[in-house]
Amino acid sequence: MPTQAMIEKFADLAVNVGANVQKDQMVVVRASVEVKDLARAITKKAYEAGASRVQVNWGDDYVSRYAYDYQTKESLAAVPQWQVDKARESIDENAAFISITSPIPGLNQGVDSTKIQTASQARMKKMSFVQNHMMGNRTQWSIIGAPNKEWAQKVFPGKEKTDAVEALWDAILHASRVREDNDPIEEWRAHNERLSYYTNILNTYQFSALHFKNSLGTDITIELVDNHVWAGGDETTTHGVVFNPNIPTEEAFTMPYKTGVNGTVVATKPLNYQGNLIEDFWLRFENGEVVDYDAKKEKESLKNLIEYDEGSRYLGEIALISHDSPISNTGILFLNTLFDENASCHMALGRAYPMNVEGGTEMSREQLDALGANYSMAHSDFMFGSEDLNIEGITKDGQTVQIFKNGSFVI
């Protein structure tokens, strides 16, 4: 465990840079029981920042596993109304949300995948208003990570449990720009400015499409919606509050045109989806839709993701990250999307972020659909960047511009 001072420093970053909690604002903290010390520190820092009320929603992956093992599908599909009402109250009070991710990769191996899918879909249908609110940037939300023993030993299998946890703590704090001798808030201000350098260049070009190719088999062209917006680092709510959704983050991302994706993409890192690790997989797209796929491990889980709903067969995000970047250079495979997606170019199956098109946060779903934005209850990032990835931007008049060469920005 890091010192209490370091935990409080990390909590301060989550509250004041991640969620940027405002005076008299309600705060909802989502945390596993595995990370109670950090959740407590965040609660205290949120009150010190002026929060009117802090509500901690605890979770336990083992309890969830027991539910999948012993409940019927009918029981898993029944979402209690009190849970819906509790979520609605948070939205109505314009709460800020801070989530601490601490997964146990592979915990759900052997579970009937249709049970997991049934429970997830039922909850998403009942709680879609939460996703709409947050993905539309109608309030601040932020995700950070913290270790547990099982996750740490998956990342560092050669270490004893205590040593593995220490190593994962060190890696997470380093990736999050929290050190004993620095001011992480000031460092994040400078980091956000660096990320805006690339997003400004990409926004100026307004490419009609991007072409990705590497030696692993990725060869794919992704059209972009008209008037797309590249974003990265901090974002701004519809109420004008600046926040950082992901700590850490290294990406510049935007919105693909739903039916404008053609070619094959090969994943370069495993994807932890619904508690199962999907490994060595690829997808082939035609006119935006996944028409073929395979995986060496957990193909059934990949199938469940693709078939989650109609929109999960299409892309909602494309993100660029140099292979030569801080998280990538650690050489650590975190087995957690929050970290691994920031070490590699990635794309997301499922819903697009409205903020990735001009005026999108003020548009109706029908207006976004007309622009080519994808809609889904799913949004799952997977990584495909490599050290030899080349990316060309195709301009509206058909010219090509080199964006990446040998895995990193050259634009």
pLDDT digits (tens, 9 = 90+) for 58-71: 999 999 999 999 99
Q: Does one domain contain both 323 and 217?
A: yes
- Would 13 be classed as within a structural domain? yes
Is pLDDT at 275 greater than 90 in this prediction?
no
Q: Does one domain contain both 256 and 354?
A: yes
pLDDT in tens, 162-201: 999 999 999 999 999 999 999 999 999 999 999 999 999 9
Q: Tokens in use for 189?
A: 């201000």
Q: Please answer whether residues 352 and 176 qualify as being in contact, where contact means their C-beta atoms are separated by less than 8 angstroms.
A: no
Q: Please answer whether residues 254 and 356 qualify as being in contact, where contact means their C-beta atoms are separated by less than 8 angstroms.
A: yes
Task: Tell me which residue of 348, 378, 347, 382 sits closest to 267, measured CA to CA.
Answer: 382
Q: What is the pLDDT of residue 326?
A: 86
How far apart, in whole angstroms, are the C-alpha atoms of residue 356 and residue 344?
A: 20
Q: Please answer whether residues 335 and 272 qualify as being in contact, where contact means their C-beta atoms are separated by less than 8 angstroms.
A: yes
Q: What is the pLDDT of residue 351?
A: 96
Q: Does one domain contain both 226 and 171?
A: no
> What percent of the chain lies above the pLDDT cut of 90?
94
Q: What is the pLDDT of residue 92?
A: 97
Beta strands in 174-328 (DSSP E): 209-213, 219-224, 235-236, 242-243, 252-254, 256-266, 271-273, 276-286, 289-297, 315-320
β-strands 315-320, 346-350: how paired? antiparallel
Range of the structural domain that residue 103 is part of: 4-175
Domain end marker among 175, 193, 215: 175
Q: Does one domain contain both 89 and 215?
A: no
**134: confidence class by pLDDT, cuts 50, 70, 90:** very high
What does DSSP assign to residue 156?
A: S
Half-sphere exposure of 297 (CA within 13 A, CB side): 14
> Which whole-number Å values give the CA distances from 166 to 65, 73, 175, 404, in the listed order?
26, 39, 14, 35
Cβ atoms within 10 A of the Cβ of 166, count? 17
- Would 186 be classed as within a structural domain? no
Q: Where are the alpha helices (DSSP H) in 136-183?
A: 149-155, 161-175
Contact residues for 19 (Cβ-Cβ < 8 A; gap 6+):
27, 46, 96, 97, 98, 140, 141, 142, 243
Q: Does one domain contain both 216 and 166?
A: no
Q: Does one domain contain both 166 and 210?
A: no
Q: What is the pLDDT of residue 1?
A: 82
CATH of the domain at 167: 3.40.1830.10
Is pLDDT at 279 greater than 90 in this prediction?
yes
Q: What is the pLDDT of residue 325?
A: 85
How high does pLDDT run on average in the chain?
A: 96
What does DSSP assign to residue 106?
A: T
Mean pLDDT calculated for residue range 82-99: 97
How many residues in total does the chain contain? 411
Q: Does one domain contain both 164 and 212?
A: no
The number of distinct structural domains making up the chain is 2
Q: Please answer whether residues 253 and 229 qualify as being in contact, where contact means their C-beta atoms are separated by less than 8 angstroms.
A: no
The CA-based angle 214-354-30, given to 5 degrees, is: 90
Is pLDDT at 314 greater than 90 in this prediction?
yes
Q: Does one domain contain both 213 and 356?
A: yes
Q: Does one domain contain both 373 and 312?
A: yes
- Would 189 be classed as within a structural domain? no
Q: Does one domain contain both 115 and 260?
A: no
How far apart, in whole angstroms, are the C-alpha atoms of residue 31 and residue 99?
A: 6
Bridge partners of 219, per DSSP, are 213, 264
User: What phi and psi values does residue 276 have, to the nearest 5 degrees?
Assistant: -120, 140
**HEC assignment per residue over 191-210:** HHHHHHHHHHHHHHHCCCEE
Bridge partners of 362, per DSSP, are none
Q: Does one domain contain both 171 and 217?
A: no
Q: What is the pLDDT of residue 53?
A: 98
Q: Does one domain contain both 283 and 396?
A: yes
Percent helix, percent strand, percent coil in the chain, to nearest 5: 40, 25, 35
- Would 188 be classed as within a structural domain? no
pTM of the model: 0.90
Mean pLDDT calculated for residue range 228-236: 96
Chain centroid to CA 335: 13
Mean pLDDT calculated for residue range 9-19: 98
**324: confidence class by pLDDT, cuts 50, 70, 90:** confident
Provide the phi-psi class of 274: left if phi over 0, else alpha when psi is between -120 and 50, else beta. Answer: left
Q: Tokens in use for 114?
A: 């249709």
- Would 195 be classed as within a structural domain? no
- Would 118 be classed as within a structural domain? yes
Residue with tokens 């005076």, as numbered in its chain: 23
Q: What is the pLDDT of residue 396?
A: 94
